[in-house]
Amino acid sequence: MSMENQHREDPHCENEQAETAQIEAQLAAARRAAMAPHASAQGAGEDAHLKIGVYICRCGGNISDVVNVEQVAETVQLLPNVTTAKVHTFVCSDPGQQTISEDILQENLDRVVVASCSPFLHEQTFRGAVARGGLNPYLYEHVNIREQASWAHRHDPSGATAKAIRMIAAAVGKLRHAAPLEQIKLPNHRRALVIGGGIAGMKAAADLAARGIPVLLVEKTEKLGGRLNDRGRVYPSERDASELVEELARTVQANPRIEIRLSSQVKAVSGFIGNFKVEVAPEGGAAEQRTVGAILLATGFRPYQPREGEFLYRGGSSASAGPAVLTLPEFIQLLRATPENARHLLVNGRAVRNVAFLHCVGSRQLDGVHEPQPDGRLNTYCSRTCCTTILQQALAVRRRFPKTGVYNFYQDIRTYGRGEENYYTEASKAGVVFFRYNGEEPPAVALSAPESARDGAISITVKDTLTWNEELTLPVDLLVLGTGMIPGAIADLIEQMKLATGEDGFLQEVHPKLRPVEVAVNGVLLAGAAQGPMNIQETLAAAGAAAVKVAAMFAKENVELNPFVAEVDPELCCGEAHCVTQCAYEGALRMVAKEVDGKQVERAEVNAGLCTGCGACVAVCPHRAMQLNGWRLDQFDAMVDGIAAGVPNQACGEELVRIG
Amino acid sequence: MNTQIDSSYRPDALVVGGGIAGLQSALDLADQGLKVLVVERGASIGGHMIALSKVFPTLDCASCITTPKMSAAAHHENIQILTNAEVEAIESRDGLHRVRILRKPTYVNFDKCIGCRLCEYACDTEYRDRFEEGLGAVRAIAVPFTNAIPQKAVLDAEHCLTCGSCARVCPTDAIEFDQKPRTLAIETEAVIVASGFDLNSVTVKPQYNAARSQNVIAPMTLERLLAPHGPYGRVLRPSDGKIPGAIAFVQCAGSRDESIGVPYCSRVCCMYAIKQAMLLAGALPLADITIYYMDIRAFGKGYEQFFQNAKAMGINFVRGKVARIDPIEGGDLRLHVETTEDAENPLEERTHDLVVLAQGMIPGWNPAQTTPVACASDGFVATPRLTAPTATTAPGIFTAGTAAGPKDIVDTIAEAGAAAIAASQYLFQKRETAVAG
């Protein structure tokens, strides 16, 4: 498809027209900036014959509704070395990428700039397009004129436009000093470590082993199965959880490619993708050292444990002494332990005539309504599985003990999954009574006054929004708190592996759709509820999604890493080791003995696998001996020139102040 | 991408459907070195997702997330894509699936077409653009949409007047008026059914009167109205181009309703309604926006917080079932609502100028008749195995995404990965056994 050049009329542009004069002035300044001879123009690596192509994205209208992209193209075309400047509606689309590849071939471009969204989204996309055109993918610069210009300055179109021009000028400057780079290839240790032996961990391990990949499966308890052990029947299949756990456990135990370490924990993790060094220690035993290429975190969740006194809760085991308040998992155990032929559901030796289920305990918490958790956090999220679990249990009570009344206090019934809505309709048909409360006004729970105790030990008062906010008080014998999920207790792993957690405290993926099972650390993947509440089917799917990424990673002989790592100039290094002192990544930088002119000296050396390219070493080296590939110091100089060479000086009016 | 596929082509796996589920499965298989054929019935890959404006809960623009996956699949050396093609039948025997594929005529030779669109510019016949939900016009021969893949013109035989203008301007002589449907038979060892969903009609509940008012619209129509590159570039109501000032979302208008045969929850409608309400609030700051709902099902990661943000933005959430929608003069609509929160007015009449009906998700394809894959009572692909959520009733055939029940994009992508590992381990084990045996 050919590049479009018409500027679409848009309501947002009306403001722009009103500000035409101002824009013109700013653009004029920006144009002069773009054309100003740069201080670095005579610098090393400069080549007057370089051809640079600049592609500016409208992003539908996300950019072009604010930034005048045609004016940007027109202006940056004037920058030295820029031979092509084009605008496209979606540069990331196939035709957009095709244009880049074709231009490289047909117009002999040497370097490419794309000004679009965050590099987080599409830097890789465009490196690919550049490579398909036959150019080294690192002769490419990504400029973010969406998040950093159009979105940040949506009420200042002219400012956003001028900023976009300067940012592109910086990228063009940087590219003039760019050198082709090659990805770092490192050996790929074809073995995965799976942390956690619940269903997510077992499923991921089984999937990988069945695909031919050796797995080390580490479980901290003495048993596989995690939270599904002793869970009873699971929805929507209504088969016993033990069937599922046992089937998976048999699979992993029978596969010779899986080594299982029970009652063991991962004590230390170092290294990088393809080459992690891990220490796994059994309880009280000596640690074994292993090398693995990938790590899957299947560390799961913890059930929410109510605070002492929260809705009269006194802890499951002490309930015999106080009011009958149980958490959902405790209730499931109670019901399972009740003989099939029992005529009553018994609590504290007394028959339960009516039971209340209170939804969203420890979930969907609101600021100012709920007390924060000990760590100061509110559990603002929905735990996803409690609604259906409660209805499953409520239905079981009604079916087994038809004389027992079941009351359900909820905000929204979230039986979203396949086969789940059925529990809601069946529970309604079976006579479960529903009361709906507003999240800002959760039901109040109190001990009944002694005279009314025969009706039930606990009274629940609710403003019922199903009956026009009528305030109702119900006496019950047993209150079940619909407790949800909270993040697993894995602070040590988070610390060791430098993992990110979200506001909800669960492990954070890079992007929910683009990289949903990956974390910021390459080679580390999320499997299951460690990432957030999930039901069984979703957990199994998430484990598979993590496993497939590992399978793809191991399909390659080598791990390929970005080449943005530090490099030592042995001519300039004086062996003062400032860099080694400052380096935050163990093993990334060290001093090695070398012979220079017949003398034994020490020089810095970089381990490319461990270097993260943070640049701390570059900043502290007094001799400019450290450089970051892809971000060399002369490139920074050129970028600063590009941005600032022509900043209009307020005091001098139209005069230009040159920096550098 | 390759259009020159014949029966000698033998992919390791075949993926039915080129939406986000199929593309993710294909990529996850291809990245392991397996050869994959994607069969898509539409003129472009990208599925429903490529037509969305933004996606919840991040509010990323949908194109920004979809196009890289489309492009990655199109450029992957291990992936071949057939568009305008439908899987007619699968016959499985001895661990091999014989797949019959119908290649529908496009009347354009894809090997010759360079996507220059000269034919499109020359064509005089226009009809309602299905990609824009009928709000814009498209020529009888056209590249499907801006970011479609492949960028090849397709002729719509139903609307073409065979005037020949396109053939006269085509620089590569790619127009072929005499194309006929062709059948392609291929063999493969594994199949992933990612045939996605359809939506039941907005007219499924006659009391909502979508047939009588253009201003009772489908959510996909609103997606196009909200998309920055949509038909009008702004939100205007269909009947008269007025900027709407009081917009209503009627939830569960095609789901959770036994009377229309969709008793299940469609799982995404609460969240997209909240998202659309937020986008509308941004586009039309003065508009009054109300969501009529039974339960707000904001269950996913970050979804509840998204819902709370919408409330804080001033979106009205009214718990109540809309009983009837009557068109009134001026194109406006009167909603008869039973609310449960106002004792004085349990039965209310409220007037809105644009109404969005949350349609239900229904299966996009029924494989039960022509393939060994069985469907469950809800019509979606059955996945009976407790420990293998993507395994169908047929060995070597897996499923991903909404083919196996309503699902949002996040859950679809996870499941697509799970189907890919299931298919690849099936292939690996088959081959390992073959070598050992």
Domains and CATH numbers, chain A: 11-181 (3.40.50), 192-300+488-558 (3.50.50.60), 310-486 (3.50.50.60), 566-629 (3.30.70.20)
Instruction: Assess whether B256 and B389 both reside in one domain.
Output: no
pLDDT at residue A2 in the model: 40
Question: What backbone phi and psi angles, to 5 degrees, belong to B369?
Answer: -75, -35
- Sheet of A444-447: strands edge to edge? A444-447, A458-464, A470-476
- Which token pair is B13? 């796996």
pLDDT at residue A646 in the model: 45
Residues sharing a CB contact under 8 Å with residue A317, sequence separation 6 or more, in sequence order: none
CB atoms inside a 10 Å sphere around CB B392: 27
**Mutation to test the B interface, candidates A90, A385, A548, most B Cβ within 10 Å:** A548
Which of B228, B297, B421 is the closest to A61 by Cβ?
A: B228
Task: Please list the helix, strand and coil fractions of chain B in percent, rounded to the nearest 5, in that order.
Answer: 25, 25, 50
**Mutation to test the B interface, candidates A59, A93, A237, most B Cβ within 10 Å:** A93
A220-224, A464-468, A589-593: lowest mean pLDDT where?
A464-468
Whether A89 and B146 lie within 8 Å, measured CB to CB = yes
Instruction: Assess whether B119 and B226 both reside in one domain.
Output: no
pLDDT at residue A453 in the model: 53
Q: What is the pLDDT of residues A226-258, one digit of tens each?
A: 999 988 999 999 999 999 999 999 999 999 999
Quickly state the pLDDT bin for A38 (edges 50, 70, 90): very low
- Tell whether B113 lies on the interface with A, counting CB pairs under 8 A: no
Whether B146 and A90 lie within 8 Å, measured CB to CB = yes
Instruction: Evaluate if residue A315 carries a pLDDT over 80.
Output: no
**How many residue pairs from chains A and B have C-beta atoms closer than 8 A?**
244
* A window 6-45, beta carbon within 8 A of B: 8-11
Residue B95 is part of a domain; what is its CATH number? 3.50.50.60
Instruction: Evaluate if residue A16 carries a pLDDT over 50.
Output: no
Which of A94, A514, A538 is the closest to B65 by Cβ?
A: A514
Q: What is the pLDDT of residues A123-177, one digit of tens each?
A: 988 999 999 999 999 999 999 999 999 988 988 999 999 999 999 999 999 999 9
The last residue of one of the domains, among B361, B384, B416, is: B361
Instruction: Assess whether B47 and B33 both reside in one domain.
Output: yes
Kindly report the average pLDDT of chain A as a whole number: 89
C-alpha distance from A499 to closest chain B C-alpha (Å):
18
Residue B137 is part of a domain; what is its CATH number? 3.30.70.20
Instruction: Evaluate if residue A304 carries a pLDDT over 90.
Output: yes
Instruction: Evaluate if residue B115 carries a pLDDT over 90.
Output: no
Instruction: Assess whether B114 and B224 both reside in one domain.
Output: no
Instruction: Evaluate if residue B321 carries a pLDDT over 60.
Output: yes
Whether B308 and A541 lie within 8 Å, measured CB to CB = no
- Tell whether B301 lies on the interface with A, counting CB pairs under 8 A: yes
Q: How far is the C-alpha of A11 from the C-alpha of A457, rounded, in Å?
A: 64
- Tell whether B75 lies on the interface with A, counting CB pairs under 8 A: yes
- Tell whether B265 lies on the interface with A, counting CB pairs under 8 A: yes
Instruction: Evaluate if residue B421 carries a pLDDT over 80.
Output: yes
A346-350, B19-23, B221-225: lowest mean pLDDT where?
A346-350
Whether B117 and A1 lie within 8 Å, measured CB to CB = yes
Whether B417 and A203 lie within 8 Å, measured CB to CB = no
Instruction: Evaluate if residue A653 carries a pLDDT over 50.
Output: no
Instruction: Assess whether B332 and B220 both reside in one domain.
Output: yes
Instruction: Evaluate if residue A575 carries a pLDDT over 70.
Output: yes
The full length of chain A comes to 660
Looking up tokens 């943005």 gives A564
Cβ neighbourhood burial of B46 (10 Å; 0-12, 13-18, 19+): buried
- Cβ atoms A135, A45 nearer than 8 A: no
Q: What angle is formed at CA A537 by the lines to CA B94 and CA A546, rounded to 5 degrees?
A: 80
Instruction: Assess whether B229 and B348 both reside in one domain.
Output: yes
Average pLDDT over residues B245-256: 97
pLDDT at residue A10 in the model: 42
Whether B33 and A555 lie within 8 Å, measured CB to CB = yes
Q: What is the pTM of this model?
A: 0.89
Q: What is the pLDDT of residues A464-481, one digit of tens each?
A: 999 888 999 999 999 999
Instruction: Evaluate if residue B99 carries a pLDDT over 70.
Output: yes
Residues sharing a CB contact under 8 Å with residue B404, sequence separation 6 or more, in sequence order: A418, B380, B381, B383, B390, B415
pLDDT at residue A445 in the model: 95
pLDDT at residue A30 in the model: 54
Cα B162 to chain centroid, rounded: 30
Instruction: Assess whether B348 and B296 both reside in one domain.
Output: yes
Instruction: Evaluate if residue B315 carries a pLDDT over 90.
Output: yes
- Tell whether A420 lies on the interface with B, counting CB pairs under 8 A: yes
* A window 494-533, beta carbon within 8 A of B: 502-504, 506, 511-514, 516-517, 531-533
Average pLDDT over residues A1-11: 41
* A30 φ/ψ sector (left φ>0, alpha ψ -120 to 50, else beta): alpha
Average pLDDT over residues A441-448: 93
Q: What is the pLDDT of residues A342-389, one digit of tens each?
A: 999 998 888 999 999 999 999 999 999 999 998 899 999 999 999 999
Question: What backbone phi and psi angles, to 5 degrees, belong to A26?
Answer: -65, -40
Instruction: Evaluate if residue A8 carries a pLDDT over 60.
Output: no
- Cβ atoms A494, A515 nearer than 8 A: no
Q: What angle is formed at CA B178 by the lines to CA B175 and CA B182, rounded to 5 degrees?
A: 105
Kindly report the average pLDDT of chain B as a whole number: 95
Instruction: Assess whether B116 and B99 both reside in one domain.
Output: no
Q: For a pLDDT cut of 70, what percent of chain B falls above it? A: 99
Instruction: Assess whether B344 and B371 both reside in one domain.
Output: no
Whether B304 and A382 lie within 8 Å, measured CB to CB = yes
Instruction: Assess whether B95 and B186 both reside in one domain.
Output: yes
Minimal-distance CA residue of chain B relative to A243: B386
Q: What is the pLDDT of residues B272-311, one digit of tens each?
A: 999 999 999 999 999 999 999 999 999 999 999 999 999 9
* DSSP string of A540-562, one letter each residue: HHHHHHHHHHHHHHHTSSEEEE-
Q: For a pLDDT cut of 90, what percent of chain A falls above it? A: 74
Q: How far is the C-alpha of B433 from the C-alpha of B428, rounded, in Å?
A: 9
pLDDT at residue B433 in the model: 86
**Mutation to test the B interface, candidates A360, A418, A436, most B Cβ within 10 Å:** A418
Average pLDDT over residues B375-395: 96
Quickly state the pLDDT bin for A454 (edges 50, 70, 90): low
Whether A93 and B267 lie within 8 Å, measured CB to CB = no
- Tell whether A539 lies on the interface with B, counting CB pairs under 8 A: no
Quickly state the pLDDT bin for A41 (edges 50, 70, 90): very low
Which of A89, A538, A552 is the closest to B28 by Cβ?
A: A552
Q: For a pLDDT cut of 70, what percent of chain A falls above it? A: 88
Domain count, chain B: 3
pLDDT at residue A584 in the model: 86
- Tell whether B428 lies on the interface with A, counting CB pairs under 8 A: yes
Instruction: Evaluate if residue A305 carries a pLDDT over 60.
Output: yes
C-alpha distance from B150 to closest chain A C-alpha (Å):
8
Q: With contacts defined as CB-CB under 8 Å, which chain A residues touch B68?
A: 92, 121-122, 125, 514
Whether B304 and A366 lie within 8 Å, measured CB to CB = no
Average pLDDT over residues B181-190: 97
Q: With contacts defined as CB-CB under 8 Å, which chain B residues touch A531?
A: 301
Average pLDDT over residues A325-336: 95
Instruction: Evaluate if residue A446 carries a pLDDT over 60.
Output: yes
Instruction: Evaluate if residue A223 carries a pLDDT over 80.
Output: yes
* A window 227-256, beta carbon within 8 A of B: 237, 239, 243-244, 247-248, 251
Q: How far is the C-alpha of A212 from the C-alpha of B372, rounded, in Å?
A: 28
Average pLDDT over residues B82-105: 97
Which of A412, A468, A503 is the closest to B297 by Cβ?
A: A412
Instruction: Tell me which residue range forms the domain holding B236.
Output: 200-361
> Considering only CA atoms, which of A104, A115, A37 is closest in space to residue A73?
A115
Beta bridge partners of A525: A296, A518
Instruction: Evaluate if residue A21 carries a pLDDT over 80.
Output: no
Q: What angle is formed at CA A109 by the lines to CA A105 and CA A113, rounded to 5 degrees?
A: 120
Choice between A158 and B146, residue whose per-residue pLDDT is larger? A158
Instruction: Assess whether B351 and B232 both reside in one domain.
Output: yes
Quickly state the pLDDT bin for A651 (edges 50, 70, 90): very low
pLDDT at residue A630 in the model: 95
Instruction: Assess whether B370 and B326 both reside in one domain.
Output: no
